[in-house]
A and B are shown apart, each in its own frame.
Chain A
Amino acid sequence: MRPGHFLLLGAVAAGLAAAAPGTAIRLVDRATESGVAIRTTNGNPERRYIIETIGSGAALLDYDLDGDLDLYIVNGSRLEAMPQGEQPIAALYRNDGGGRFTDITTGSGLAIPFWGFGAAVGDYDNDGDPDLLVTAFGPDRLFRNNGDGTFTERGAAAGLDSNRWGASAAFFDADQDGLLDIYITNYITFDAASIPPKGDPNSPCRFRNLTVMCGPNGLPGAVDHFYHNNGDATFTDIAAEAGLFTDGKYYGLGVTTVDVDGDGRQDILVANDSTPNHYYRNLGGLKFEDEAMMSGFAYSGDGREQAGMGIDTGDVDANGTMDIFITNFSHDYATLRLNDGAGMLEDSSVRLGLAEPTIRTLGWGTVMVDLENDGDLDLFLANGHVYPEVDDADIGTSYLQPNQIFEQTAPLVFREVTAAQVPALGVRSRHRGLAAGDLNGDGKIDLTVTIMDGQPELLMNESAGGSWIGLRLVGRASNRDAVGARVELRAGERVWVLERRGGGSYLSASSPVLLAGLGTVKALDSVAIRWPSGERQSLGALAPGSVHTVVEPAGAGNPAAAAPAHH
């Protein structure tokens, strides 16, 4: 970003002391005053088992269709039995505006105790309101939005009743039939009885001379779910038929769906922990092939398996293709992969200087967003280690870690924002999930960061930013959420390419609204949309400074798609 006049304007407008020099980005944790008070439970704090270390996520959704984003915080549990009535439950917060949220979980149908991990949002029944999928240790839960402020759990009825350990999930339309399908990463086939806990004298599990909890290496992986939407509010797992890996050798954590190769179909990108990543290229007809190896996506640039956690995509180099950012373990770097549009997803972290500053941290949630609306994408990483023991070992990392921002200050030039500049980055904690979206309607992307065994951070974006535009897409022949739609904004020579992606980040669901920072641009020349149905729409100029709702033209596209019943 270019600080100059934004900095001055921001300081005057907010009536606050000027932001620290060098950045216009300003994020302030407003969780406590907002009323988002939940403290999640994510296993025993001693972290004896791996299931107690990966945390849980959050989801942004406008469940009541009042135009603002509400907040769902996933909750975990413990391996030890907990008394009835004391079991943790997730929380749904209604956005009341003015930075205030009200807990409306009770009576919403969501107050069910289970060990939740990830959340995804999608209107799987095309009825016009967002439904909620929560992955779990045990059966995943599908909460159908009843349209009256309540939800009904339909997981088993919908065919989502497997007994695996679900992590991140994505709603997307794999076959462009106008119905949202589901991908769920499953992490480990976990059985506490068969794994020595940390501290067991027979435990062989060590990390850099430290006795730690075991896994994932050496533990059995798990097969991910790929559920095809049958069109009758049920799903069928077709992972094997679709050509996905079903050998259970991978530790899936993060997932996003995005059109990697520009063919109009949503591909699936999976960040696997300690095993090669997957890039399932969508061949159409519900068939996929793994292009990870032949695109460079499977391994780091020097051929190592990385410990992928979170994943996000965006056109960071403004070449019109979706690039990818993946967070990894400590003592390895987070990986920015530039999409050359010709099939290569090249690990560019080393040459872009992103390797060294991400070596010390263990990243989870991540988003590629324009924090100060200067027109380019920045990187945000939610960090925290899995081993409390690292604090005893002087190995260049720590258990509690600060989040990180890498601000793009010039094309593909990243500079780490310091805690002196943004004090919220000085907070060391067990950060895990991360959801991005404009919570207060000011056109800036706010960040919700979950904390293992803690209260989430609500990092409100008070940056002195540039111009912006928002797009809320409503599919008709396409899936109602328009997941898979690609938008091209033009202003003179500048082009922004945005995509309504499925999944992303880590265990979390970000806003469905596409938000683009435009920098100093005051007017757009054109807005073009490629809908998932294949329909192309040109909107001419749209005015920056507000969120536009765009409905897919009637009669468009895919004959396979029934006309959706919208609210």
Chain B
Amino acid sequence: MMTHDPSGPSISHSIRLIVALLVFSSAGPVTTVTAQSMTEPPAQSDLVTARELAARGRLEAAAAAYRRHLTAQPASFEGHLELGQILFSMKRPAEARSHLQRAVELDPGQPLPHVRLAQLLLVTEDLPAAERELLIWRQMLPDDPSVHFNLGRLFERLGRDDAALESYLAFLRLAPDEQRATAIRARVARYHEDAGRIDAAMEMYRVLVAEDPSRSSLILSLANLHHRRAQYDEALALYERVIQLDPVNVSAEGNLGQILRMRGDLEGAALHFDRALEIEPTNVNNLYSLGSIRSDQGRDAEALRALERVVVLSPEHPQAHYTIGQILLRRGDRDGARRELELHRKIHAAAREKETTPAATGVP
């Protein structure tokens, strides 16, 4: 779920920028404003005053000036647009929306009201209306990276992953070096990953890691993908890099331990699980893995210490009961073993009872 994260620069910052452009440029980015004279009528004078106040950050006063201007000139496109933006930055979205909509009605061919209205609608969670405005924005300014960025965010919120991905890719195509691009690349990588397009995800993570080789979270994501594809050599090297960069990364330690364990390097694996447990002593998975390794090594006392801790932390941990049972069997304690194995069986059976629909085969 997307958080309320205004796209791009903040609204107030945008407004100041736009107002400044309107005031100090001979032509604004989306509309033309004639330079003001000292002899202009009062309504125009209010507009100039409003802009000056807005530029100085005196938003309440600016809003009052805009209102005076609109009282005199109710069909002022600039007045409605700029007041709408001011009110939006003042967190008065309902009023802002009515002024921005009025601006749209007054000059539907101007993109900026659509842009601002879309942003407002996004923030206020009126997603269908936001989509409508964003699509108009995209139609008017197809090369504006921000519209693709915002559409991506919108589609993400609507759960339309393919459309979100398409928008994000368009954004990256248009603004590959923009500040937001790194975050979007990470997001795109995640989309690919979730959709099972592992090649594409890995490629994206590689670009991100090349951009910033110190970002351990991205390296970890790349390592996890190699791990998922059973490319253990690559995964191992990347997990080790993560640990170099982030010596308290529990995931990397744990996953590295898992790979070494599957390779039969039990002592190497135990070392990593030990480290992971120094960082997070109550991590049940790593505790279990350590206990399981010690059991495989026949170091039963150490195994039991770890496994009994697992059972304390997670009484329904089936595998811990199972491995304790195996150790007790080896020790000749068949009654104790039977108790543990019966617990394991019951937990398993309860899980299986929940399977009421056909499902694919395979392991968890």
Q: Which residues of A contact B (CB under 8 A)?
A: 50, 195-196, 203-210, 212-219, 273-274, 293-296, 299, 301-307, 328-333, 343-344, 346, 350-356, 359-360, 386-387, 392-397
Query: Please, how many angstroms separate the alpha-carbon atoms of A100 and B245 in the complex?
Result: 64
- Residue in B259, B318, B319, B359 whose CB lies within 8 Å of A218: B359
Residues B361 and A302 in contact, CB atoms below 8 Å apart: no
Residues A302 and B360 in contact, CB atoms below 8 Å apart: no
Residues B363 and A306 in contact, CB atoms below 8 Å apart: yes
CB contact under 8 A between A394 and B358, given known A302-B292, A350-B262: no
CB contact under 8 A between A392 and B196, given known A303-B321, A304-B364, A353-B263: yes
A430 to chain B, nearest CB (A): 16
Residues B296 and A307 in contact, CB atoms below 8 Å apart: no
Residues B196 and A394 in contact, CB atoms below 8 Å apart: yes
A256 to chain B, nearest CB (A): 22
CB contact under 8 A between A214 and B360, given known A293-B345, A395-B228: yes
- Residue in A206, A210, A299, A355 whose CB lies within 8 Å of B322: A299
Chain B residues positioned under 8 Å from A205 (CB to CB): 358-360
Residues A396 and B358 in contact, CB atoms below 8 Å apart: no
CB-based closest 7 A-B pairs:
A303-B322, A394-B198, A353-B264, A214-B358, A396-B230, A207-B360, A218-B358
Query: Please, how many angstroms separate the alpha-carbon atoms of A259 and B329 in the complex?
Result: 21
A215 to chain B, nearest CB (A): 6
Chain A residues positioned under 8 Å from B359 (CB to CB): 204-206, 214-215, 217-218
Residues B232 and A356 in contact, CB atoms below 8 Å apart: yes
24 contacts across the A-B interface (CB closer than 8 A) = A204-B357, A206-B359, A208-B362, A216-B361, A217-B358, A217-B361, A218-B355, A218-B357, A218-B359, A294-B337, A294-B341, A301-B296, A303-B323, A303-B344, A304-B319, A331-B363, A351-B266, A351-B296, A353-B263, A354-B264, A394-B196, A394-B198, A395-B196, A396-B228
- Residue in A215, A303, A393, A394 whose CB lies within 8 Å of B361: A215
Say yes or no: is B231 at the interface (Cβ < 8 Å to chain A). yes
A16 to chain B, nearest CB (A): 34
Chain A residues positioned under 8 Å from B259 (CB to CB): 356
- Residue in B232, B334, B362 whose CB lies within 8 Å of A207: B362
Say yes or no: is B143 at the interface (Cβ < 8 Å to chain A). no
Say yes or no: is B199 at the interface (Cβ < 8 Å to chain A). yes
Say yes or no: is B132 at the interface (Cβ < 8 Å to chain A). no
Chain A residues positioned under 8 Å from B355 (CB to CB): 217-218
Say yes or no: is B229 at the interface (Cβ < 8 Å to chain A). yes
Residues B291-341 near A (CB distance < 8 A): 292, 296-297, 318-319, 321-323, 326, 329-330, 334, 337-338, 341
Residues B318 and A303 in contact, CB atoms below 8 Å apart: yes
Residues B334 and A218 in contact, CB atoms below 8 Å apart: no
Chain B residues positioned under 8 Å from A393 (CB to CB): 196, 198
Residues A212 and B360 in contact, CB atoms below 8 Å apart: yes
Q: Report the nearest A residue to B291, measured CB to CB.
A: A302
Knowing that A331-B362, A353-B263, A396-B230 are A-B contacts, what are 12 other residue pairs whose CB atoms are under 8 Å apart, sorted by A's residue number?
Answer: A205-B359, A216-B361, A217-B355, A217-B361, A218-B359, A302-B288, A305-B348, A329-B363, A350-B266, A356-B232, A359-B262, A393-B198
Residues A350 and B264 in contact, CB atoms below 8 Å apart: yes
Residues A273 and B361 in contact, CB atoms below 8 Å apart: yes
Query: Please, how many angstroms separate the alpha-carbon atoms of A204 and B358 in the complex?
Result: 7
Query: Please, how many angstroms separate the alpha-carbon atoms of A299 and B197 in the complex?
Result: 33
Query: Please, how many angstroms separate the alpha-carbon atoms of A279 and B329 in the complex?
Result: 16
Query: Please, how many angstroms separate the alpha-carbon atoms of A351 and B360 in the complex?
Result: 29
Residues A344 and B319 in contact, CB atoms below 8 Å apart: no
Chain B residues positioned under 8 Å from A396 (CB to CB): 228-231
Q: Report the nearest A residue to B297, measured CB to CB.
A: A351
Residues B358 and A219 in contact, CB atoms below 8 Å apart: yes
B329 to chain A, nearest CB (A): 7
Say yes or no: is B37 at the interface (Cβ < 8 Å to chain A). no
Say yes or no: is B261 at the interface (Cβ < 8 Å to chain A). yes
Residues B229 and A352 in contact, CB atoms below 8 Å apart: no
Chain A residues positioned under 8 Å from B338 (CB to CB): 294
Chain A residues positioned under 8 Å from B39 (CB to CB): none
Q: Report the nearest B residue to A351, measured CB to CB.
A: B296
Main secondary structure of the interface of B (DSSP, over half): helix
Say yes or no: is B356 at the interface (Cβ < 8 Å to chain A). yes
Query: Please, how many angstroms separate the alpha-carbon atoms of A198 and B145 in the complex?
Result: 41
Residues B358 and A196 in contact, CB atoms below 8 Å apart: yes
Chain A residues positioned under 8 Å from B326 (CB to CB): 296, 301, 346
B109 to chain A, nearest CB (A): 44
A46 to chain B, nearest CB (A): 16
Query: Please, how many angstroms separate the alpha-carbon atoms of A396 and B229 in the complex?
Result: 4
Residues B363 and A303 in contact, CB atoms below 8 Å apart: no
Query: Please, how many angstroms separate the alpha-carbon atoms of A204 and B360 in the complex?
Result: 9
Residues B264 and A352 in contact, CB atoms below 8 Å apart: yes
Residues A303 and B358 in contact, CB atoms below 8 Å apart: no
A526 to chain B, nearest CB (A): 34
Q: Report the nearest A residue to B261, measured CB to CB.
A: A350
Query: Please, how many angstroms separate the alpha-carbon atoms of A9 and B317 in the complex?
Result: 56
Chain B residues positioned under 8 Å from A304 (CB to CB): 319, 363-364
Query: Please, how many angstroms separate the alpha-carbon atoms of A395 and B196 in the complex?
Result: 8
Query: Please, how many angstroms separate the alpha-carbon atoms of A343 and B334 in the complex?
Result: 11
Chain A residues positioned under 8 Å from B231 (CB to CB): 396
A158 to chain B, nearest CB (A): 33
B284 to chain A, nearest CB (A): 13
- Residue in B262, B292, B341, B362 whose CB lies within 8 Å of A355: B262
Residues B322 and A215 in contact, CB atoms below 8 Å apart: no
Chain B residues positioned under 8 Å from A307 (CB to CB): 361-363
Of A203, A217, A328, A359, the most chain B CB neighbours within 10 A belong to A217
Query: Please, how many angstroms separate the alpha-carbon atoms of A11 and B313 in the complex?
Result: 61
* Residue interface bits B170-213, CB-to-A below 8 A is 1, else 0: 00000000000000000000000011111100000000000000
Query: Please, how many angstroms separate the alpha-carbon atoms of A195 and B318 in the complex?
Result: 30
Query: Please, how many angstroms separate the alpha-carbon atoms of A305 and B355 in the complex?
Result: 15
Of A213, A274, A303, the most chain B CB neighbours within 10 A belong to A303
Chain B residues positioned under 8 Å from A203 (CB to CB): 358
CB contact under 8 A between A303 and B319, given known A209-B196, A218-B355, A356-B232: yes
Query: Please, how many angstroms separate the alpha-carbon atoms of A304 and B348 in the complex?
Result: 9
- Residue in A195, A216, A274, A355 whose CB lies within 8 Å of B264: A355
Query: Please, how many angstroms separate the alpha-carbon atoms of A351 and B362 in the complex?
Result: 23
Residues B223-258 near A (CB distance < 8 A): 228-232
- Residue in B329, B348, B360 whose CB lies within 8 Å of A206: B360
Query: Please, how many angstroms separate the alpha-carbon atoms of A274 and B361 in the complex?
Result: 7
Query: Please, how many angstroms separate the alpha-carbon atoms of A329 and B356 in the complex?
Result: 22
Residues B230 and A301 in contact, CB atoms below 8 Å apart: no
A385 to chain B, nearest CB (A): 10
Chain A residues positioned under 8 Å from B345 (CB to CB): 293
Q: Report the nearest A residue to B360, measured CB to CB.
A: A207
Residues A218 and B356 in contact, CB atoms below 8 Å apart: yes
Q: Report the nearest A residue to B338, measured CB to CB.
A: A294
* Residue interface bits B149-172, CB-to-A below 8 A is 1, else 0: 000000000000000000000000
Residues B361 and A386 in contact, CB atoms below 8 Å apart: yes
Residues B296 and A350 in contact, CB atoms below 8 Å apart: yes
A219 to chain B, nearest CB (A): 5
Chain A residues positioned under 8 Å from B198 (CB to CB): 393-395
Query: Please, how many angstroms separate the alpha-carbon atoms of A392 and B199 in the complex?
Result: 11
Query: Please, how many angstroms separate the alpha-carbon atoms of A302 and B194 in the complex?
Result: 28
Query: Please, how many angstroms separate the alpha-carbon atoms of A196 and B356 in the complex?
Result: 14
Q: Report the nearest B residue to A333, measured CB to CB.
A: B262
A143 to chain B, nearest CB (A): 31
Q: Report the nearest B residue to A386, measured CB to CB.
A: B361
Query: Please, how many angstroms separate the alpha-carbon atoms of A196 and B195 in the complex?
Result: 23
B246 to chain A, nearest CB (A): 25
Residues B262 and A344 in contact, CB atoms below 8 Å apart: no
A150 to chain B, nearest CB (A): 40
Q: Report the nearest A residue to B288, measured CB to CB.
A: A302
Chain B residues positioned under 8 Å from A214 (CB to CB): 358-360
Chain B residues positioned under 8 Å from A299 (CB to CB): 322, 344
B328 to chain A, nearest CB (A): 10
Chain B residues positioned under 8 Å from A360 (CB to CB): 230
Chain A residues positioned under 8 Å from B341 (CB to CB): 293-294
